[in-house]
Amino acid sequence: MVQLKLDPASPIPMYLQIAEQVRRAVASGGLQADDEMPSVRALASRHLINPNTVARAYLELEREGLLTKRRGAGTYVAHEAEELRDAQRTRIVTGLIDKTLDTARQFGWTPGQIRKAVEERLNQTKMESQR
């Protein structure tokens, strides 16, 4: 069962908020192949949002191959979702790396400085987790 945290007052459209949280749940393993998704109706009622918004998010995820509709039986996480998991993970981590690189470049850091900083953090966090 995915727990969605939706913010209607955010600049990010609601359907994108839903889609991204489902993608992340698939990436983290919180959602697995053949898990049943709540119906459009149920999700709309629970979060007091427009059913069209939920439907749009589901449609987007179906197009990406993460969700699949089974005739007369609702919406499920697709078999292929597990294969797509690595791609999702790569996408999410790459996005975060890009943000870091943007900031570092704004500060005028050279590729060498950035690499060194990443190495240092890797070593430090490794030591912390071993303790």
Partner 1 sequence: MSQPAIAVEGLSKRFGKRAAVDGLSFEVPTGGVCGFLGRNGAGKTTAIRMLMNLTDPSAGRALLLGLDARRDHAELMARVGYVAEVPILYDWMTVRELARFTSQFYARWNTAAVDALLGRFGIDTRQKVRHLSRGTQAQLALALAMGHDPELLILDEPATGLDVLVRRDFLESIIQIVQQEGRTVLFSSHLVHEVERVADQIVVIEEGRLLTSASLDDLKQQAGQSLEEIFVGLVGRREEVRQ
Residue 85 found at the interface with partner 1 (CB under 8 A)? no
Q: CA nearest 64: which of 46, 93, 91, 96?
A: 91
The Cα angle at residue 88 between residues 84 and 92, in degrees rounded to 5: 175
CB of 1 to partner 1, least distance (A): 21
Residue 74 found at the interface with partner 1 (CB under 8 A)? no
Residue 32 to residue 48: CA distance in whole angstroms: 26
In the complex with partner 1, which residue's Cβ is closer, 45 or 113? 45
Residue 52 found at the interface with partner 1 (CB under 8 A)? yes
CB of 84 to partner 1, least distance (A): 24
Q: C-alpha distances in angstroms, 27 versus 19, 84, 117, 128?
A: 12, 8, 27, 25
Residue 125 found at the interface with partner 1 (CB under 8 A)? no
Residue 126, both tokens: 């490794």
User: Which of 41, 70, 91, 121 touches partner 1 (CB under 8 A)?
Assistant: 41
Residue 1 to residue 25: CA distance in whole angstroms: 10
Residue 21 found at the interface with partner 1 (CB under 8 A)? no
Whether 76 and 36 have beta carbons less than 8 Å apart is answered as yes
Q: Which stretch binds partner 1 (CB under 8 A): 12-20, 62-70, 75-83, 93-101?
A: 12-20
Binding site for partner 1 (CB under 8 A): 8-16, 41, 44-45, 48-53, 56
